[in-house]
């Protein structure tokens, strides 16, 4: 009997601790005036970094957290810090990021969404981030085993991070009407940006190959928060990019000049095709063209999609 009372007491104690800690987290989150939750199929890490860089140079103290090629924190001064994890990635780490931002009394926190499953995306937004601005970069056919096999199905999952009665920014144009329906249900104001708002000359300021739609989206968010467009753009030029950004490398071998484009981060068929199309338009991809696919045994659906893309659309030599 005594053991039962002890167990009951411990359960009540842990329950009370959980309630208190939950309330503390809510206060921490609300103490950060600007909370930006970045979601989408492709470009999340890049857009998160670009927004953070634009806000910092605009005088808004900002902490950014990305989970792209490597998990990183970008602090108020723009320094890039590695996140040391104990075990696998877990959405619980978002709590510690909110705590850090609150303790440092920053004005803005820009966080890349970690979750894939619909219920975890819902929890991340409603219980952890409470965004004042939601961002959905785009909606593409990826993680189809988890998020759905059609664009509307995937959009329904991504829409879980649209903040209620706040603002949603997106560069998605193909099914923007679907996102608009979800935004309306949450009484959120949706803003759609297009790549045409950024000129090719403006893109020349980047030291790597950035996507215009990413820059356009990040600029729209920064301007919404009062940062001058040109000021924000200059900050984006100097930002440290994600390790997986699209880059061009030229090496000499066998008496030839070989150009290698690292596009491994575009690991869904739609994004891969868009990169291929863009490179053909801008550089012509002259000479013998070779496509190297990096597939994973635990992502067989994606491997089949990429193999079909290479054989039917890319048509390498």
pLDDT in tens, 176-197: 999 999 999 999 999 999 999 9
All CATH 3.40.1190.10 domain ranges in the chain, comma separated: 24-238
What class, spelled out in words, does domain 24-238 have in CATH? alpha beta
Nearest CA among 217, 230, 209, 116 for reference residue 169: 217
The pLDDT, as a whole number, for residue 250 is: 82
Q: What is the mean pLDDT of residues 227-246?
A: 92
pLDDT tens for each residue of 281-311: 776 677 788 887 877 777 777 778 787 877 7
Does residue 162 or residue 87 have the better pLDDT? 162
Cross-strand pairs, 81: 73
* Residue 18 confidence (pLDDT): 59
φ, ψ (nearest 5 deg) of residue 60: -100, 115
Binning pLDDT at 50, 70 and 90, where does residue 264 land?
confident
The DSSP secondary-structure symbol of 246 reads B
Position 269 confidence tier, pLDDT thresholds 50, 70, 90: confident
Q: What is the DSSP letter of 87?
A: S
Measured CA to CA in angstroms, residue 65 lies from 21, 24, 44, 110, 138 at distances of 22, 21, 11, 6, 19
Tens-place pLDDT, residues 105-117: 999 999 999 999 9
Residue 76 has pLDDT above 50, yes or no: yes
């Amino acid at each position: 009997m005594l053991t039962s009372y002890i167990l009951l007491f411990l359960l009540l104690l842990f329950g009370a601790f959980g309630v208190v800690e939950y309330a503390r987290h809510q206060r921490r989150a609300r103490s950060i005036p600007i909370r930006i939750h970045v979601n989408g199929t492709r470009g999340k890490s890049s857009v998160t970094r670009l927004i953070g860089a634009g806000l910092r140079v605009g005088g808004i103290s900002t902490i950014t957290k990305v989970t792209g090629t490597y998990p990183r924190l970008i602090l108020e001064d723009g320094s890039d810090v590695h996140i040391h994890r104990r075990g696998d990635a877990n959405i619980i780490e978002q709590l510690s990021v909110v705590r850090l931002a609150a303790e440092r009394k920053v004005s803005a926190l820009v966080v890349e969404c970690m979750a894939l499953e619909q219920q975890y995306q819902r929890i991340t937004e409603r219980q952890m981030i409470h965004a004042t601005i939601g961002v959905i970069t785009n909606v593409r056919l990826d993680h189809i085993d988890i998020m759905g096999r059609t664009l509307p199905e995937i959009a329904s999952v991504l829409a879980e991070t649209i903040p209620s009665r706040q603002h949603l920014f997106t560069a998605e144009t193909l099914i923007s009407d679907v996102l608009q329906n979800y935004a309306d249900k949450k009484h959120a104001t949706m803003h759609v940006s297009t790549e045409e708002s950024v000129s090719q000359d403006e893109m020349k300021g980047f030291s790597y190959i950035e996507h215009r739609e990413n820059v356009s989206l990040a600029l729209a968010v920064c301007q919404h928060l009062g940062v001058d467009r040109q000021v924000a753009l200059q900050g984006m030029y100097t930002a440290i990019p994600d390790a997986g950004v699209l880059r061009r490398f030229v090496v000499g071998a066998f008496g030839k000049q070989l150009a290698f484009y690292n596009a491994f981060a575009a690991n869904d068929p739609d994004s891969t095709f868009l990169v291929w199309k863009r490179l053909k338009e801008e550089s012509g991809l002259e000479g013998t063209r070779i496509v190297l696919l990096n597939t994973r045994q635990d992502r067989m659906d994606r491997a089949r999609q990429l193999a079909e893309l290479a054989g039917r659309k890319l048509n390498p030599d």
